[in-house]
Structure 1
Amino acid sequence: MIVVGTCGFCERREKYFRDFGTVEVQQTFYKLIRDKTLQKWRQEAPKDFIFSIKAFQGVTHPSTSPTWRRSNVKPTSEVGLLKPTPDVFRYWELTLREAEILGAKFVLIQLPKSFKETEENFNNAEKFFSKIEKREFIIAIELRGWSEKGIKEFVKEFGLIDVSDPFVRKPVHRGDINYYRLHGAYERGRIIYKHKYEEEELKEIASRIRKWNKKESYLYFNNAYMCEDARRFIQILAF
């Protein structure tokens, strides 16, 4: 089973729920969302629709991150990078609450490049994951700039799903689920989000995902042309 969606609603929700079977909610990363808003989304969606939510940036991103400019929360110096601080734990609990209201399947922890492959960060993660609840959610993690060995150790140690871009690397297999995010093209270590996937690129992605497929694969487009590319990809999968 391969389920396709986008990172955020790329069109009106009513239409999105007809076009796609899943969404990775981005609003939960930037802001704390009101309960009634999340309840409305859940009620609007088909019963079998799959929500994934991106953990609030207070869990992952330090106060120096420019992403905080879009937030409705003023950060302290004790946020982000999975630091085992009261603020980080509180924001994790708020993320879980949002996931519960939406009836989400996944919670995505997307860490910034500043979360380097260091002993300090691994130790902080160890303290973080030893204290938090996961409840019934599948926790997926995107580590940027880490070695394959480091990623493998991280996801195995903490019982997580490895998130990868299928154009960059094969995911570290764990369990029966693969989770992919397609950001666009890459140039000198930078992500080019304004990349429209060519037909052959989409076919290659489909080939790789089928070859690496577990029981379930979830693919989220995160480029500037995400809606169009995701729809084209669904058509390719049909053949």
Structure 2
Amino acid sequence: MIIVGTCGFCEAKKKYFRDFNTVEVQQTFYKLIQDKTLQKWEQEAPKDFIFSIKAFQGVTHPPTSPTWRRSNVKPTPGVGLLRPTPDVFRYWELTLREAEILGAKFVLIQLPKSFKETEESFNNAEKFFSKIEKRDFTIVVELRGWSEKGIKEFVREFNLIDVTDPLVREPLHVGKINYYRLHGAYQKGRIIYKHKYTQEELQGIAKKVKEWNKKESYVYFNNAYMCEDARSFIQTLAF
């Protein structure tokens, strides 16, 4: 089973719910969302629709991250980087609450490049994951700038789903689910979000996703042309 969606609603929700079977909610990363808003989305979605939510940046991103400029919360010094602080644990609990209201399947922990592949990061993660609740959610993690060895150790140690771009590498975990995020093109270590995938690229992605397929695979487009590319990819998968 391969399910395709986008990172954020790329069109009006009513139309999106007709066009796609899943979405990775981005608003939950930037802001704390009111219960009534999440309840409305859950009620508007088809019963079999799959929500994934991105954990609030207070869990993952330090106060220096420019992403905080879009937040409705002012960051305190101890936020981000999975540091075992009261604020990080509080924001995780708020993220779980949002996931429960939406009836989400996944919670994405997307860590910034400032979460370095160091002993300190592993220690913070160990303390964080040893204390938090996961409840019934599947936790997926995207690590940026880490070696394959480090990623494999991280996801196995904390029993997480490794998030990857299929054009970059194969998932580095053993499990029944693969979770992909397609950001666009890569140039000299930078992501070019304003990249439209060619048909040849989509065919290559489809081939890899099918070859690596577990029981379930989820593919989320996160580039500037995400809606169009996601639709094209669904058609590509049919062949």
Shorter-chain TM-score range: over 0.9
Deviation at 1:173, TM superposition (A): 2.7
Name the CA distance, whole Å, in 1 between partners of 2:39 and 2:163. 27
Match of 2:142 in 1: 142
SS at match of 2:196: coil
1:33 corresponds in structure 2 to 33
**What is the aligned residue count?**
239
How far 1:203 moved relative to its partner? 0.2
What is the CA deviation profile of residues 82-118 of structure 1, one whole-angstrom value per residue up to 9, with x for unaligned ones?
0000000000000000000000000000000010100
Other structure's SS at 1:29 match: helix
Corresponding residue number in structure 1 for 2:193: 193
TM-score by length of 2: 1.00
Q: Report the AA paired with residue 5 of structure 1.
A: G
In structure 2, distance between residues paired with 1:30 and 1:16:
21
Question: How far did residue 20 of structure 1 move?
Answer: 0.3
Distance 1:227 1:190 in 2: 22
Query: Once superposed, which parts of structure 1, at least 4 consecutive aligned residues long, lie more than 6 Å away?
Result: none
Structure 1 partner of 2:59: 59
Partner of 1:118: 118
Partner in structure 2 of residue 151 of structure 1: 151
Structure 2: tracts of 5 or more residues without a match: none
2: distance between equivalents of 1:146 and 1:212?
A: 21
Residue deviations 1:2-46 (CA, integer Å, cap 9, x gap): 000000000000000000000000000000000000000000000
CA distance in 1, matches of 2:148, 2:74: 35
The runs of 5 or more residues in structure 1 that have no matched partner are none
Normalising by structure 1, report the TM-score.
1.00
1:70-89 matches, within 5 Å, as 70-89=70-89
User: What's the RMSD between the two structures over aligned residues?
Assistant: 0.4
- Secondary structure of the corresponding residue to residue 93 of structure 2: helix
By how many angstroms is 1:142 displaced?
0.1
2:111·2:144 contact (CA, 8 Å) conserved in 1? yes
**Corresponding residue number in structure 2 for 1:211:** 211
1:15-34 to structure 2, matched below 5 A, reads 15-34=15-34
Q: Percent same amino acid at aligned positions? A: 84
